Structure 1
Amino acid sequence: MQLDYIIVGGGSAGAVLASRLSENGAKQVALFEAGPDTPPDDVPDVIADSYPGLSYFDPRYHWTQLRVYNRSPRLNSQPPKTAKLEQAKVMGGGSSINGQFAVRGLPHDYDEWEGLGLKGWGWEGMLPYLKKLERDLDFDGELHNRSGNIPIRRVFPDDWAGFTRSVLKATEADCPYQPDYNASFEDGSFPLPLSNENERRVSTAVGYLHKEARARKNLHIFANAFVENLIIEGKRATGVRVTIGGDTKTYSAREVIVSAGALHSPAILMRAGIGPAAQLARLGIDVVADLPGVGENLTDHPHIAVGAHFRKSARLRPGQRRHIFLGVRYSSNHADCHTGDMLLMPVNRAGWHPLGKAMGALNVCVNKSYSRGTVTLKSRDQNEEPIVDLNLASDGRDLMRLVDGFKRIYRIMTAPDVQRHVNTWFLAGYSDEARALSVRKASNWIKTASAAYAFDYLPFFREELLKRKFGTTDRMHKMMQDEELIVEWVKQSVWSGWHVSGTCKMGTEDDPLAVLDDRCRVRGVEGLRVVDASIMPTIVAANTNITTIAMAEKAADLILESVN
């Protein structure tokens, strides 16, 4: 089969590219996804569920061996520890397992890209694609579209749980309530928009690889297909070597597009000889193109949180699936930081299990972060995960904004309206133990059911257990008297927002770390592009999924323009 385009990865970007590039029936398109397919008429309930805590932690849809350093081993005096990081291995990628938040970022996020020399990637150039992808079920007007592939809706305050309503009362004096997050660029308290319709997730595997797209004779979709390597002849990418069901074959195409995400795309390039020459040579990989920026510029949104055990008045209604409704966007006013750089979210459920339904959290996130990490190869073996150093909160601006975020959380949690809904609150984070409990299985239900009963009816047991595992409110009162205690806790507890990006960034020729040009073409290699969250030069002040879809929409037009 002579292919025009091979797409490596069927995620948030890859599914969009496959759909758009195959609309022209003359182009033969092959999409290879390492995980299972989720066609629109056969989406597993765990993925379709409005409550994302099921798919987020289901090992059937992840790269289960992937572990990362939240804090860089170069920064810690103590032995560095790795943590799991859930990265999707399923059709639709992150859009099949993420929190379903459909937020765009702010105009200055994109204007920053254009200011770096990326013509057409500013707000004016990106807005048409941010609109093109959406079918907004609540709002219309010049900033919206009612006919795109991804439905977007919100849960409004009448349906919010008691805890969220009390947090809104504590924040709206400084951040007034506004209904439309994506059409307002000011600080405010907003219902968070969702890529969800009729209480079901709509991933790119459903919204773009729809029934009509799948019926095209020129679109070839391969699931459970692991791309072993790129085929490079001289300075040109000519195809891929893929294993499907134990069978390994080579597929050739006029152009190869890598859309494997911000951790795996740079690893694929490096194994093919595209990356920092010295690192590749150490691993015995022949250098095709010396691009020092491959795997650099890794950016994420660092989070911290406090947990809470709720009184009945705070909890979700029986049967209610969504658990995060409100996003409070605020400006830290920290030196050299953009406006709207922070996000605070009350979480009304801590898990699918009985104990999780009685607990929640208040999260704060640096939504416009400056710390940079790296992705490097451990070996040339394609089955071995790369070394991922997120290096969270290494930039002082990120660290101190999280410290300030903790103080804001403290003030909200001690507000009388919030206290009425909370039995107790405590320092929280994402440990491996918490992640293990988040996997839905009978043994976890049994464990948590007895704990849920004890937490509700045996306050002494609850307080003692939380004190032993997390630290009591007394510890938080002390932290508020000594900022250094907050700094140390933030360093130990900061966790990833699952928004890895930037590791194959676009840039101008005079940028030594630019991997791609402004048409997503890999520098120094013909017939090869990268299109996914890795191409962002800087991170947007938003969950990255909607921006990634919009970038793929734009990239599809750029690719088709180049051959017409």
Structure 2
Amino acid sequence: MFDVVVVGAGSAGCALAARLALRTGRLVLLLEAGSGDFADPDVGSLAATAPGDPRNWAHPVELAPGVPAVVPRGRGIGGSGAINGAVWTYVTPADALGWSVPGWTYPTMRYWYAIAEREPIYATDGPVPVQVPTGELLHPTAERFLAAAAALGFGEEPYKNAGAPPGAGLVPSNSRNGLRIDPARAYLPNPLPPGAQRFAATSSEDSDDAEPASGPQRVWSLDPQWVVEPRAPVVRANSTVLRVLIQHGQTFGVELTSGERISAKEVVLCAGAVGTPRILLRSGIGPAEMLRAAGIDVHVDLPDVGRGWSDHPAVFLPFRAEDPPPHPHAPTAQAALNWDAGADPAGDVEVLLFTRPFVPDGDLHLMCALQQPDSRGTLDLDRISYEYLRTEHDRRRLRHALRTGADLLRAGLGARTEPGGDVLGNDRTLDEWIATHLTTAVHMCG
């Protein structure tokens, strides 16, 4: 029997399983539904977010009434953190204050960020390298973006993770030498520094005597001081959890979709904002009426499971720029403008610059998004609804974000491809254009 089963090897699961095994010595099993192979480490690649890629769940969703979409979520070791844009930005002090949750204050969160990071500004030595683009990694469009924001009167935010008021600044990235340092690479025993050996404990008592892991070892060209710890979780891929096993109000393990049962003293769900509530629902934890209608025995009536989550409604504003392609080691998302449009002093609106085209020889893009939407989503066993743009407040702010993006382009950033000025200048036609171009920043939470 395992001491702890952690379900989902994404950002939370990799960090939690690794730290539990290392710090407590407990026997930890980390289960992942997708592949056990590491994802493409190229920080400039977003190829795995395309529908049909095996590292992507590609959930069919409804963003707004009559607006279907397919939303990527990471499937495989590293989760969404292995296929995303490698943007590493903190909660803001104002947001943390608004949560009013013990243990989640800004100073506490800042401490735990530092534990995770290896970055020079705060002189920390965690497993995740963090950098902002400078020198040859800084694309000319990022420099023009900052200059355009200043010309429009927006304040400067020199470092996005310094806790300063929102403004225009360069975006930190969890990458090094062109490699996305995803959760699996940061926290799990592989990949290895050159010449290192991986040791895997077979129980919580015998890690000091464990034998070197057999089989081929991966070579990873990162700093040689990356330490491989003797205690590590057991990682099992291609293992989709159907439900948590519950008896007399206590969990005693998990059941896989294959029918296999795995016993554990504790089960921790880290399966993401879609996977975790769906596992809870299949386990009989959720709205009782819905569960009974689906033929699921009710263990705990929790009406809010699958309810009340949020994400960032977004629209991409395409533009052309006569610049050389980015350096191969440069992150794609390089600069952002955040500001308060009246809903959140932390900055409820964002324009994010993407310095690589999404398709060869295509346009560059500004992602114009709401950071604090009014909309709250719902999901159940077979449906995901974002409920975007239900309020005029959200529609007004997203129009404002797009028009600000267009202002940045006019201020010297680049030449807007669409929409035309007749669309931008009219609320009704702009709302129609937004409805046909609406997407999401893929940051579900709640």
TM range (shorter): 0.7 to 0.9
**Is the CA contact (8 Å cut-off) linking 2:157 and 2:165 kept in structure 1?**
no
Alpha-carbon distance change, 234 to 395 in structure 1, aligned in 2, over 3 angstroms: farther
Among 405, 413, 428, the residue aligned to 1:418? 413
Deviations 1:544-564 (A, max 9, x none): xxxxxxxxxxxxxxxxxxxxx
Secondary structure of the corresponding residue to residue 445 of structure 2: coil
Shift of 1:81: 4.0
Question: What's the TM-score once normalised by structure 2's chain length?
Answer: 0.86
Residue type matched to 1:251 in 2?
I
Question: What's the TM-score once normalised by structure 1's chain length?
Answer: 0.69
**Is the CA contact (8 Å cut-off) linking 1:316 and 1:323 kept in structure 2?**
no
Residue pairs, 1:149-228, within 5 angstroms: 149-156=127-134, 159-173=137-151, 174-211=153-190, 215-218=200-203, 219-228=233-242
CA distance in 2, matches of 1:103, 1:395: 28
Shift of 1:318: 6.3
Tell me what 1:326 maps to. 335
Secondary structure of the corresponding residue to residue 59 of structure 1: coil
Alpha-carbon distance change, 255 to 165 in structure 1, aligned in 2, over 3 angstroms: same
2:354 aligned with 1:344: no
Secondary structure of the corresponding residue to residue 319 of structure 2: strand
Alpha-carbon distance change, 161 to 393 in structure 1, aligned in 2, over 3 angstroms: same
Tell me what 1:62 maps to. 56
Alpha-carbon distance change, 341 to 214 in structure 1, aligned in 2, over 3 angstroms: farther
| Structure 2 unmatched ranges of 5 or more | 191-196, 204-232
Tell me what 1:35 maps to. 34
Tell me what 1:541 maps to. none
Residue type matched to 1:149 in 2?
P
Secondary structure of the corresponding residue to residue 172 of structure 1: helix
Tell me what 1:111 maps to. 97
CA distance in 2, matches of 1:181, 1:59: 32
Alpha-carbon distance change, 355 to 224 in structure 1, aligned in 2, over 3 angstroms: same
**Is the CA contact (8 Å cut-off) linking 2:91 and 2:106 kept in structure 1?**
no
**Is the CA contact (8 Å cut-off) linking 1:296 and 1:375 kept in structure 2?**
yes
Tell me what 1:355 maps to. 361
Alpha-carbon distance change, 195 to 282 in structure 1, aligned in 2, over 3 angstroms: same
Shift of 1:486: 1.9
Tell me what 1:229 maps to. 243
Among 29, 39, 43, the residue aligned to 1:50? 43
2:276 aligned with 1:265: yes
Q: Which moved more, 1:15-24 or 1:212-221?
A: 212-221
Tell me what 1:15 maps to. 14
Shift of 1:394: 2.1
Alpha-carbon distance change, 54 to 425 in structure 1, aligned in 2, over 3 angstroms: same
Secondary structure of the corresponding residue to residue 350 of structure 1: coil
CA distance in 1, matches of 2:295, 2:368: 43
2:193 aligned with 1:249: no
**Is the CA contact (8 Å cut-off) linking 1:329 and 1:340 kept in structure 2?**
yes
**Is the CA contact (8 Å cut-off) linking 1:399 and 1:490 kept in structure 2?**
no
**Is the CA contact (8 Å cut-off) linking 1:225 and 1:242 kept in structure 2?**
yes
Secondary structure of the corresponding residue to residue 184 of structure 2: helix
Backbone CA RMSD of aligned residues: 2.1
Deviations 1:195-233 (A, max 9, x none): 111211111101111348863334221011111221111
**Is the CA contact (8 Å cut-off) linking 1:238 and 1:255 kept in structure 2?**
yes
Secondary structure of the corresponding residue to residue 170 of structure 1: helix
Tell me what 2:124 maps to. 146
Secondary structure of the corresponding residue to residue 410 of structure 1: helix
2:105 aligned with 1:127: no
Secondary structure of the corresponding residue to residue 361 of structure 2: helix
Alpha-carbon distance change, 160 to 128 in structure 1, aligned in 2, over 3 angstroms: closer
Shift of 1:166: 2.3
The number of equivalent residue pairs is: 409
Among 479, 485, 500, the residue aligned to 2:423? 479
Residue type matched to 1:485 in 2?
T
Q: Percent identity?
A: 26
Q: Which moved more, 1:477-486 or 1:262-271?
A: 477-486
Alpha-carbon distance change, 169 to 249 in structure 1, aligned in 2, over 3 angstroms: same
Residue type matched to 2:167 in 1?
G
CA distance in 2, matches of 1:291, 1:393: 27
2:283 aligned with 1:276: no
Among 53, 68, 72, the residue aligned to 1:82? 68
Secondary structure of the corresponding residue to residue 267 of structure 2: strand
Shift of 1:319: 4.0
Secondary structure of the corresponding residue to residue 102 of structure 1: coil
**Is the CA contact (8 Å cut-off) linking 2:86 and 2:331 kept in structure 1?**
no
Alpha-carbon distance change, 198 to 281 in structure 1, aligned in 2, over 3 angstroms: same
**Is the CA contact (8 Å cut-off) linking 1:132 and 1:148 kept in structure 2?**
yes
Secondary structure of the corresponding residue to residue 355 of structure 1: coil
**Is the CA contact (8 Å cut-off) linking 1:338 and 1:368 kept in structure 2?**
no
